[in-house]
Chains A and B, each alone.
Chain A
Amino acid sequence: MANSDAIVGWKTITFGCHILEPGNAANFRTGDWRSQRPVVDKEKCIKCGMCWVFCPDMAYSQDEDGYFVVDLEYCKGCGICAHECPKDAITMVPEEG
Chain B
Amino acid sequence: MSKRVGIEVSIAIAEAVGLARAEVIPAYPITPQTHIVEHLSEMVANGEVDAEFVPVESEHAAMSCCCGSIAAGARTFTSSSSQGLSLMSEILYIPSTMRLPIVMVVANRAMSAPISIWNDHQDIMVQRDIGWIQTFAENGQEAVDLTLHAFRVAEDRNVSLPMIVNIDGFTLSHVIEPIELPDQEEVDKFLPPFKPRYKLDPRRPISMGPVGIPEVYTEAKVAHDKAMKKAKRYILKAWDEFEEIFGRKYNPVESYRTEDAEVLLVTMGSISETAMTAVDAMRDAGQKVGLLRIRLWRPFPGQEFRKAVGKAKVLAVIDRCLPPGALCGPVGAELRSLFYKIPGAPKIFSFVAGLGGRDVTVERFEEIVDKARAFAKKRPRELYEVIGVREK
Contacts and interface: CB of A to CB of B under 8 A. Distances in A.
B100 A16 contact: yes
Contacts, number: 52
A22 B216 contact: no
Given A20-B198, A22-B206, 5 more contacts: A9-B219, A10-B222, A13-B220, A13-B223, A17-B98
A16 B198 contact: yes
B207 to A, nearest CB: 4
B197 interface: yes
B66 to A, nearest CB: 15
Interface string B91-117: 000000111100000000000000000
Interface string B215-226: 110111011001
Contacts of B226: 10
B208 A16 contact: yes
Contact of A18 (B208, B215, B219): B208
Interface residues of A, number: 14
B216 A13 contact: yes
Contacts of A19: 206-208, 210
Q: Nearest 9 CB-CB pairs, A to B?
A: A16-B99, A19-B207, A10-B222, A10-B219, A22-B205, A16-B98, A10-B223, A17-B220, A13-B219
B212 interface: yes
A7 B215 CA distance: 6
B219 A8 contact: yes
A6 interface: yes
Contacts of A9: 219
Chain B contact surface mostly:
loop
Contacts of B206: 18-20, 22
User: Most B CB atoms within 10 A — which of A9, A16, A19?
Assistant: A16
Nearest to B220: A17
B82 interface: no
Interface of B: 97-100, 160, 197-198, 205-210, 212, 215-216, 218-220, 222-223, 226
Contacts of B209: 17
A7 B216 contact: yes
Nearest to B218: A10
A93 to B, nearest CB: 27
A17 B100 CA distance: 11
Given A10-B226, A22-B206, A22-B207, A16 B97 contact: yes
B160 to A, nearest CB: 7
B219 to A, nearest CB: 4
A8 B217 CA distance: 10
A15 B219 contact: no
B213 to A, nearest CB: 8
25 contacts: A7-B215, A10-B220, A10-B222, A10-B223, A11-B223, A13-B220, A13-B223, A15-B160, A16-B99, A16-B160, A16-B208, A17-B97, A17-B210, A17-B212, A17-B216, A18-B198, A18-B207, A18-B210, A19-B208, A19-B210, A20-B198, A20-B206, A22-B205, A22-B206, A22-B207
A9 B82 CA distance: 37
A16 B218 CA distance: 13
A9 B216 CA distance: 8
A67 to B, nearest CB: 31
